[in-house]
Amino acid sequence: MVNTNRNNKSDYTAKLYSDRSKELIYDNGTRKVTQENGYSIVYFKNGDIKQVFFVISQTLPNKTVLYYFKEKEVDQITLPNGMNVHLLLI
């Protein structure tokens, strides 16, 4: 089940799903999906992708940000302490 609501004061449409996730679709082509556990993923019009992890896992600390730069095919991982790691995809 999907509930769709257009916010007339902003530039996005909100969709609420039965699994309690929320999707914001912006007029500029950007989409943001947020799950109930706090995890979010943003799809930018230029192909970039940003993920924010708010779940404690064995592989990534809480609040880790993973950003994929499509044009350069590079991943940037930002850890909660501010340290950045860049991964070149070859």
Domain count within the chain: 1
Q: Each residue of 65-85: b (16+ CB within 10 Å) or e?
A: bbbbbeeeeebeebeeeeeee
Expressed as residue numbers, the domain containing 63 is 2-88
Which pLDDT score is estimated for 47? Answer: 96
- So what's the pLDDT on residue 18? 92
Per-residue pLDDT of the chain (90 residues), as tens digits, is 566 667 666 788 899 999 999 999 999 999 999 998 888 999 999 999 999 987 656 666 678 888 999 998 899 989 888 888 888 766
Q: How far apart are CA 1 and CA 66, in angstroms?
A: 29
**Entry pTM:** 0.76
Residue 56 is part of a domain; what is its CATH number?
2.60.450.20
- Residue 86's pLDDT is 85
* Residue 34 backbone dihedrals phi, psi, to 5 degrees: -120, 130
Output the pLDDT for position 46. 96
